[in-house]
Amino acid sequence: MSEFALTHAWLIPLLPALAFVVIGFFTRLDKSISAKIAISMISVSFLLALGVLAAVISGPITMDNPLIQKVLWAKMGTLELSMGVLVDPMTAMMLIVVTTVALLVQIYSVGYMEHDPGAGRFFAFLSLFASSMLGLVISVNFLQMYAFWELVGVCSYLLIGFYYYKISAREAAKKAFITTRIGDFGMLLGILLLQITFGTLDFMELKELVPAYIWISGTGFMTVVGLLLFIGPIGKSGQFPLHVWLPDAMEGPTPVSALIHAATMVVAGVYLVGRAYFIFSALPAVMTVIAWIGGFTAFFAATIAITQRPFKRILAYSTISQLGYMMLALGVGSLTASMFHLMTHAFFKALLFLCAGAVIEAMNEEADIFKMGGLRHRMPTTFKCMAVGVLAIAGVPPFAGFFSKDMILAAAAEVSMPLYLLAAATAFLTAFYMARLLFVAFFGEVREDCPAHETNSYMRMPLVVLAVLAVVSGAWGHFAGFGEWVYFGAVQEEHIDFMIAGSSVLLTLIAFALAYEIYVAKRFSAHLLAQRFGILYTLSYNKYYVDEFYTIVRNTFVDKLGAVLYWFDLHVVDGVVNGLAKGVGCLSCVFTALQNGQAQRYVAVFYCGVIVLVAYSVFCAVRILNLLGGAF
């Protein structure tokens, strides 16, 4: 079974694609059949992914010895573009994460989309997304990765804009696509430079060639390539300064936010850096940039999250912040920590989002947490799951986040103290805003007009599964030796630094206590605090005005410049064209004056012409006769 799964890993992305085609063409209008097709296909993919995982664990496949299958996709001249499958432990881990979350989210969607007439379309898009994401994960070269990278981008576009009749959704979808496109531009440039420098985009071949190249030519050129490549992940994984699309992406249906904008697609950037780690790790300058962008993003997003009010928006900023952690881990040289956090984060963040979906649906689309309250009485299961998620993300032992976050903090502490402090501060903020979310929404008195009720079983079951995963995945990873399995260079040793772990747990507990004092015990007034912090609060609440800045940039450099160039086109380029036409017209005016209708004038002109012609021919004749010897 596992051998079959390994050799047929290409089926994993293909099956959901098949579901997309079938649903898209035939069963789009029938909700329940569409859902069944989508779920059954992703379940088979999940089973295959399990098989791959089993094969990877038991077999000889390691990070340095992956399984590779390739087929030619297109060939022109010396350039060969191929598609294929690369299976190593990192791939296997990602396959499991993606298929698990996708499967659970699709089951959840059956309940969530119960009353939506467009559910068939929704399942088609979800399947297409799953397929693209799985294709990205098994990419064997940069081009394949770029292709699927774009595809997941477009699926994200389609799903954010799923409620296409809402202007906000439509604009958010557009924003997401274009912002990530800016990142893709840089990444494409990096890929092209790799292609012309090395003549190949294959990960395995580049793994041999790049270090040799750096050994010979130094890091100068490759640093440029590395930075360009990293722009892609900045866009996709919502790193500063291209993070602006991710909070807006919450306009999509909540299962989409859980699947795409928390657990899978947004980590594609992290995955790409991990996949191309043989390039980045050889370039210290790029590594520093990655670490600082990651660390800064983590902190920056956390400071925004503490003042936001909509449920999903808080989670969105927390996603950005957690993605920053993963980047930070990569930047400080720990692929293992990053991938470990990627996995645990996928589970607990998907859990949090699915809880958010349940809450928001129960609240009749009310998203503001300050309009909720006391939900733990109305939605006990959801509350328990949510609490697990919050504990996991805050890093309370023995929940999943504790192990992965600890690993990141330890890795950061080894490399740079400022980065460690930044990460620790972020951990504190994270615990604070997650506790705030939990306390405000779920504790306190139940409001009188609160419509909340427990959701249906389709939506509850995935929550429970994810909650279990959010508890066990960290400990499992830690004790089963994740580091011996997904690593770069040398195998990572598993150990808990009690100094670091202890301090971060302490910080978390302080943050919890603080949030409790403010939002449950109401010992401090949140409002007064906001006033006390005045300008900081305003900055944070308005997300540091990054969106406004981009609007100005866009208005100036896109719309205004476009208007100027169009003016140029109309008046200069077309002006020349029309001017030429007018010139020809004027010239014809001059010549029409000659045609004055006077027959006698014509005769005169005609006669003059005859005289000239005769004179010319006589002249010629005389010359010829002279040449002939004057016979005349």
Least Cβ distance, residue 106 to other proteins (angstroms): 22
Alpha carbon separation from 212 to 76, 129, 282, 487 (Å, rounded): 27, 37, 11, 21
| Residue labelled with tokens 């006669």 | 607
Minimum Å gap between C-beta 489 and other proteins is 31
Among positions 152-171, residues that touch other proteins (CB under 8 A) are 154, 157, 161, 164-167, 170-171
How many other C-beta atoms are found inside a 10 Å radius of the C-beta of residue 605?
Answer: 11
Quick one: the chain helix, strand, coil %, rounded to 5? 80, 5, 20
Amino acid in the structure at residue 296? F
Distance CA 208, CA 193 (A): 17
Q: What is the 3-state secondary structure (H, E, C) of 112-145?
A: HCCCCCCHHHHHHHHHHHHHHHHHHHCCCEHHHH
Distance CA 459, CA 456 (A): 6
- The answer to whether residue 224 forms part of the interface with other proteins (CB under 8 A) is no
Return the residue matching tokens 């909700």. 31
Instruction: Return the number of the residue (118 or 397) whose C-beta is nearest other proteins.
Output: 118
For residue 626 the two structure tokens come to 């002279």
Q: Is 25 in the site for other proteins (CB under 8 A)?
A: no
Q: For other proteins, which residue of 12, 151, 259, 422 counts as binding (CB under 8 A)?
A: 151
* Closer residue to other proteins (CB): 111 or 135: 135
- Contact letters (x/-) for other proteins, 164-203, by CB under 8 A? xxxx--xx-xx--xx--xx-xx--xx--xx-xx-------
Alpha helices by DSSP H, listed for 238-310, are 245-248, 254-258, 268-275, 277-280, 284-305
Given the complex with other proteins, which of 25 and 215 has the nearer CB atom? 25
Which CB sits closer to other proteins, 93 or 173? 173
User: Distance (Å, rounded) from C-alpha 536 to C-alpha 528?
Assistant: 13
Nearest approach, Cβ of residue 149 and other proteins (Å)? 8
Interface with other proteins, residue 505, by CB under 8 A: no
Cβ of residue 631: shortest distance to other proteins, in angstroms?
A: 11
Regarding 592 and contact with other proteins (CB under 8 A), the answer is yes
Q: Which is nearer to other proteins, 151 or 412 (CB)?
A: 151
Q: Which two tokens stand for residue 527?
A: 């409002």
HSE-up of 176 (CA within 13 Å, CB side)? Answer: 31
- Is 604 among the residues that bind other proteins (CB under 8 A)? yes
Rule CB under 8 A: which of 543-582 touch other proteins?
558-559, 561-563, 565-566, 569, 573-574, 576-577, 581
Our finding on whether 81 is near other proteins (CB under 8 A) is yes
599 binds other proteins (CB under 8 A): yes
Q: Which amino acid is at 29?
A: L
Mutual orientation of helices 142-160 and 119-137 as an angle, nearest 10°?
160
Residue 154 CB-density burial (10 A; 0-12 exposed, 13-18 middle, 19+ buried): middle
CB of residue 239 to other proteins, shortest distance in Å: 18
Binding residue (CB under 8 A) for other proteins from 79, 480, 499, 553: 79
| Other Cβ atoms within 10 Å of 427 Cβ, number | 28
| Structural tokens at position 517 | 């004092």
- Residue 592 CB, nearest distance to other proteins (Å)? 4
Q: By CB under 8 A, tell whether 365 contacts other proteins.
A: no
- CB nearer other proteins, residue 72 or residue 552: 72
The contacts of residue 632 (CB under 8 Å, 6+ apart) are 625
Tell me whether residue 192 or residue 214 sits nearer to other proteins (CB atom). 192
Q: Per CB under 8 A, does 150 bind other proteins?
A: yes
Residue 433 to residue 302: CA distance in whole angstroms: 8
Nearest-approach distance from CB 174 to other proteins, in angstroms: 5
Q: Quick one: 165 or 215, whose CB is closer to other proteins?
A: 165
Rg (CA), the chain: 33
The DSSP secondary structure of 150-165, one letter per residue, reads HHHHHHHHHHHTTSTT
Site string for other proteins, 417-456 (x = CB under 8 A): ----------------------------------------
Cβ distance to other proteins smaller for residue 86 or 459: 86
Q: Is 148 in the site for other proteins (CB under 8 A)?
A: yes
Distance CA 224, CA 3 (A): 41
- Work out whether 536 is an interface residue with other proteins (CB under 8 A): no
Amino acid at 587: L
Site membership for other proteins, residue 614 (CB under 8 A): no
Select the residue interacting with other proteins from 25, 449, 598, 627 (CB under 8 A). 598
Element (H, E) at 67: strand 67-76
Site pattern 46..75 for other proteins (x: CB under 8 A): --------------------------xxxx
Rounded least distance, CB 438 to other proteins, Å: 35
The angle at the Cα of 627, spanning 622 to 630, to the nearest 5 degrees, equals 70
Task: Determine contact, residues 294/325, Cβ cutoff 8 Å.
Answer: yes
Tell me if 353 sits within 8 A of 253, measured CB to CB.
no
Contacts of 487 (CB under 8 A, 6+ apart): 63, 335, 336
- Give residues 469-488 in contact with other proteins (rule: CB under 8 A): none
Residue 621 near other proteins by CB under 8 A: no
CB contact at 8 A, 391 and 493: no
Q: How far is the CB of 599 from other proteins (least distance, A)?
A: 6
302, 434 Cβ separation under 8 angstroms = no
Nearer of residues 122 and 403 to other proteins, judged by Cβ: 122
| Residue 146 or 203 having the CB closest to other proteins | 146
- Of 30 and 414, nearer to other proteins (C-beta) is 30
> H or E segment at 28?
none
> Count residues contacting other proteins (CB under 8 A)?
65
Q: Does 523 bind other proteins (CB under 8 A)?
A: no
Residue closer to other proteins, measured from CB, 370 or 606: 606
Q: Which of 493, 585, 628, 632 binds other proteins (CB under 8 A)?
A: 632
Binding status of residue 76 toward other proteins by CB under 8 A:
yes
Please answer whether residues 256 and 159 qualify as being in contact, where contact means their C-beta atoms are separated by less than 8 angstroms.
yes
- Residue among 248 and 406 whose Cβ is closer to other proteins: 248
Closest-CA residue to 520 (of 354, 376, 368): 376
Residues that bind other proteins in the complex, under the rule CB under 8 A: 72-79, 81, 143, 146-148, 150-151, 154, 157, 161, 164-167, 170-171, 173-174, 177-178, 181-182, 184-185, 188-189, 192-193, 195-196, 558-559, 561-563, 565-566, 569, 573-574, 576-577, 581, 592-600, 603-604, 607, 630, 632
